[in-house]
Structure 1
Amino acid sequence: MFDYRSPALSKALTLLIILVYLAFNSAVADELSSQPQSTNNKKHYKIGVSFVNHYPHFDFSSAEDKGLSWAILEAFARDYGYTFEYVILPPVRLQSALDNRTVDFIYPDNPKWLAHKAEFDRNIYSIPITEATSASYVESFNQNLPLSEVTSVSIPFGYSAITWVEPIEKYNIKSIPVRDLEMALHALKTRTAVAADVEYNVGQHLIKSRPILGSLVVNKNLPKRAVNYHLSTKEHVLLLEQISQFSLEQKELIEMLRSTYGIKSYEQVFN
């Protein structure tokens, strides 16, 4: 009997959904690709992407299934006759790559991450490609711990921990920088940190695949919020308009992909 929950089968189903969708839309894609898409008819774009393993949202270093964001971007590209080249970079280098025009777009991006940037040099953003859920993980015995009693929080390097900025200052909480999301969770097991700032769905994926993390849970009293992941650029506005239109027209496909990857929204987690 097949186990529909197995990672291998889930991956196969995800790729099958994408292939079936692309096959059904090939005629539409061919028609669109024969029409001028922009003044310079550019069809190949470079997208600077984070090298962080943020699966199931994204893992662009994977040789096969690169996650939900990749699946959505690839479906859009096929529909509109584009090809995307993913340039993997450290999160701290994404913005400079876009500023220098080394890449045409960066992903993920959010206007709140660059609130300090000069008004004349702002990025231009698509509508959200997908939504993430910032959450705070703890050991199960701290599931109801109030914020005022948290003494330390582990934060992965390169992440904008916007939900924790104010609490850290208000309660004099020690910020523990760690290499990645998995290490942020391991910091709870070693008692290096009391809480961990980790995206909910990524945390669930890591906990399911790492038995040692099985006792970790989300504390709903601690910082949390919905965070949108956008595609951003300096100049390719037409493509952003097209991907926004695609997102509106293909809601059913996107919801199917979200379900296949098992991604829960903020409302599903905290309401």
Structure 2
Amino acid sequence: MLRFSLWITLILMVLPVASEEVDGYVPPTFTVGVQDFYYPPHSFIEEGRYAGFGRDVLDLFASHRGYRFVYVPQPYIRNVVDLLGGKIDFQYPDDSKWLVEMKLPHTIFYSNGIVGYMDGVNRNRADLGKPLEELKRMVMPIGWTAKDYEPLVTEGKLIINQVGSVQAVIAMVLKGRVDGAYLNADVVNYHFASMGREGDVAIDTTLPYSFGHFTLSSKKHPAIIEEFNAFLNEQADAVASLKEKYHFKYDKEPSVQPFTVN
């Protein structure tokens, strides 16, 4: 055991110093609360490392500004608590429309939109465009809300099942246990494309959906949020290339709006 410890010590002594700490310089370091669940192409954990489009954009910004980001994967609501309590510097993704009442007493600074998101009912190809009345059972992740569909639930016209992961949502669609899945359109597209079945299940834009933009938020660093906004403008082509890399298809809102549930 002693020989093993000595061997490890010798190896550590000869390893090169990480680039961000060359000559003893440590760049300004900030913590970023990120979502901890499998949500590609936006984010996923790969070999214990936070990865995906979100990380690529934030890392690109950090490299341009000489910053270092430490990512803290945890549930969204935990990130909000830690952001409001000053335990983390930034949160991604965030949206001023999420948990409004919880955030209300606080001043939070949001960046410009980074990537569009479209959350709605994803149906089998053959069911796209069918009347809302034919949607009898729907599934979505635990903790999600589908406000446009709550009146149907109240009236007993729709049953919504909630499951613990994106994978479980997709599984229920594949097994035909539901008529639709309330989920992010690009996440669904990613899953079915990875199986060689792109388009088999897709968002039905004739039904109510929610569209917005993922942003970077902070309570402590408004100046860096402004720097990030400038980066998004200056590096628009680079960000667009990352969107192409991750095959985003629903980054922009359709020109035709869905009808609303009465």
TM alignment of 1:80-119, pairs within 5 A: 80-117=65-102, 119=104
Evaluate the alpha carbon distance shift between residue 55 and residue 215 of structure 1 in structure 2; reply closer, same or farther with a 3 A threshold: same
Evaluate the alpha carbon distance shift between residue 48 and residue 268 of structure 1 in structure 2; reply closer, same or farther with a 3 A threshold: closer
TM alignment of 1:1-271, pairs within 5 A: 43-61=28-46, 66-117=51-102, 119-165=104-150, 168-169=153-154, 172-210=157-195, 215-267=200-252
**Identity in percent:** 22
Deviation at 1:104, TM superposition (A): 1.1
Structure having the higher helix fraction is 1
Deviation at 1:80, TM superposition (A): 0.7
CA contact (8 A) 1:91 1:158 kept: no
- 1:129-163, CA deviations, whole angstroms, 9 ceiling, x for partnerless residues? 22122232112332222123312211112334455
Deviation at 1:219, TM superposition (A): 2.3
- 1:174-196, CA deviations, whole angstroms, 9 ceiling, x for partnerless residues? 22101122221221233332110
- AA matched with 2:173: L
* Secondary structure of the structure 2 residue equivalent to 1:242: helix
Tell me how many residue pairs correspond in the alignment.
232
CA–CA separation in structure 1 for the residues paired with 2:51 and 2:131 = 36
Between 103-112 and 58-67, the greater mean CA deviation after superposition: 58-67
- AA matched with 1:91: Y
What TM-score, normalized by structure 1, do the two folds share? 0.75
- Which segments of 5 or more consecutive residues in structure 1 lack a partner in the other structure? 1-33, 35-40
- 1:85-111, CA deviations, whole angstroms, 9 ceiling, x for partnerless residues? 000102231211212222111111111
